[in-house]
Amino acid sequence: MTVPSVPHSGPVVVLASTRTVLTLSDDTLLLTPATILISLGTGKIVSVTQEVLPRSLFPPETLYQDYSPKLLLPGLVDAHVHLNEPGRTEWEGFNTGTKAAASGGVTTVVDMPLNAIPPTTTLMGFKEKLAASQGQCWVDVGFYGGVVPGNADELLPLVEAGVRGFKGFLIDSGVEEFPAVSAKDIALAMTTLKDTPTTLMFHAEMLPPIAASVGDAVQQSDPPAQPAGELDSYSTFLDSRPPVFETCAVEEILSMAHLAPQLHLHIVHLSATECAPILRNARKNGINITAETCFHYLGLASDDIPDGDTRHKCCPPIRSQTNQDTLWDEIADPNGCIKTIVSDHSPCTPELKLLPPHLQTIYQDGPRPAIRHFDSGIDMTLPEEEQQKEGVVAIGSGINVTPLETEQEKEEAMQTMPTNSSIDVSALPKEEPKKSALSVDSSVDVTLPQEEQHTKEVGHPVDLTPQTDLAPKGQGDFFAAWGGISSVGLGLPILHTTAAERAARGDAAPSIVDIVRMCSQATARQVGLAHCKGGLRAGMDADVCVFDDADVWTLRAGDMRWKNRVSPWEGHTFRGRVQETWVRGRRVFQLGGENAGFVGGLPVGRPIVERRTE
């Protein structure tokens, strides 16, 4: 029996299981019995032994847990999450979004540059976002910057400040402060970043060039292509964003790849499998490009989406079962172009989803957020004295971790920025009035009557059925509803369940080791964190997930940890559930534990602002 050498000083934690997914020195993953020794002082893994060692080998004060036969996995790195704070904090926030992540074994999230106001398209915007995150993160949080027309001069300063990559849109993003880029903007971003260790990512949908023979009518339709059918019919929506939108955008990006041969290019949330052969061919020709797909494209199919169920709206859309099957084949193939799987967690308030009445029983933490009349620009926010803060008291610690609201609180937070941050936040602007929230494509007023905004109780079902004379227009309208799906923290149950169903049918399906590779190891690499995140090996951050792959459970609204408990996954039965989550050696979540499972009592997550070097 190999006895690990326990560090002479400082407390240690020992986690063990007969079923652990380790990362070996050559980066291969191995499902094996293992014992992991963690230094609480550094939060790092000190040593890994490929057998389950008995408790008696360690000093008596050691915190020792043998989880056999549950799986011990590296924490997931979700490389595509929209946290929306500051600016649209009523949609999501650092506190609730990272709690949802922690409850599902996700130990690092990487925040997208849009939907917060300001967006992360300038250094100043990044500083504001960092300040807003202070004291609120339950897991570690990295950040992307944005590429928009005219911000090329901001890209390298954002790299210096620690952003993990950049994202640009080839089609309307849905929010006015994050406009789409032209080919000229893409070329400029590529040449600016060509010698920089970063990732340039694209929302790959674009309107195909209009053929001369099509005539004027097409040119008059609003993008995306004008709907032809009932607006609450999912097929009308699906037909309006065909696969050619995606293939066209991918071709556009590839046509410029020669401008930056070393730069890592990446397609976010790939849905249409027609892109796969194009990307495979490009990779074969030496172009450094990869793609990600999302849990919802692998676990949901358009064939099953009822008309009016706008919880399923996202862009690009969820496509057919046949498309889903081909996505699974692509991820199962080692030569495939899809290397990572992410959530694209992109919530909004239930009002913006324009849910039909039968879907309008909404659970929500805390008081109703302010709702703005985004058509007229009139701020419908409740009077200040009636707005309660969304306070969260960390039970057990007695420490109030209420999000920072006042200037003074923010300034204090800035003074306690992490010492590894190279960012000067002293020059932050005073908080400006927040802009109105805009709904993508929406001209619909979904403001609720003020009385209803007052009457919601914490943690109870909320009946949002509108008064008839004040009913929001456009309920169930897939074109007017906000596009985005909430699922951060559900990745393991979704993939494990769907993979098991596929395997039972004899179809290609990833093993738990494959899931770890695509959701932890490869996502960490995608954002330049492979040296510390996404693997269980000595020297790595002790980010650990305990997954009970035999637990069968059904997701109810009350199980959702994100701010607005609306998701197409509600009511789905999963096989496999995360039992515990550890971030840098500290247990932050335990299913069924005190403080609604957040047993650590304190948000120990950190902003990741180290300059990317890999």
Note the residues at the interface with Zn ion (CB under 5 A): 344
The one-character DSSP state at 482 is P
CB of 564 to Zn ion, least distance (A): 16
Spatial separation of the C-alpha atoms in residues 396 and 419, rounded to whole Å: 28
Nearest CA-CA partner of 496 in 79, 65, 104: 104
Return the number of the residue (344 or 477) whose C-beta is nearest Zn ion.
Answer: 344
Return the number of the residue (47 or 98) whose C-beta is nearest Zn ion.
Answer: 98
Within 311-396, residue ranges assigned H as helices are 321-332
Spatial separation of the C-alpha atoms in residues 281 and 268, rounded to whole Å: 18
Return the number of the residue (167 or 587) whose C-beta is nearest Zn ion.
Answer: 167
CB of 563 to Zn ion, least distance (A): 17
- Annotate 512-533 with b (16+ C-beta within 10 A) or e (fewer): bebbbbbbbbbbbbbbbbbebb
CB of 346 to Zn ion, least distance (A): 5
Q: Which residue is nearest to Zn ion (CB)?
A: 344
CB of 268 to Zn ion, least distance (A): 6
Judge whether 72 and 17 are in contact, CB under 8 Å: yes
Return the number of the residue (203 or 410) whose C-beta is nearest Zn ion.
Answer: 203
Within 22-122, residue ranges assigned H as helices are 94-103
CB of 582 to Zn ion, least distance (A): 27
CB of 80 to Zn ion, least distance (A): 6
CB of 180 to Zn ion, least distance (A): 14
Strand 399-400 to 393-394 pairing: antiparallel
First to last CA, the chain: 37
Nearest CA-CA partner of 533 in 465, 612, 476: 612
Return the number of the residue (173 or 302) whose C-beta is nearest Zn ion.
Answer: 173
CB of 407 to Zn ion, least distance (A): 31
Return the number of the residue (330 or 344) whose C-beta is nearest Zn ion.
Answer: 344
- CA triplet 15, 19, 22: central angle to 5 degrees? 75
Judge whether 423 and 140 are in contact, CB under 8 Å: no
Return the number of the residue (343 or 497) whose C-beta is nearest Zn ion.
Answer: 343
Nearest CA-CA partner of 91 in 122, 114, 109, 121: 114
Return the number of the residue (177 or 344) whose C-beta is nearest Zn ion.
Answer: 344
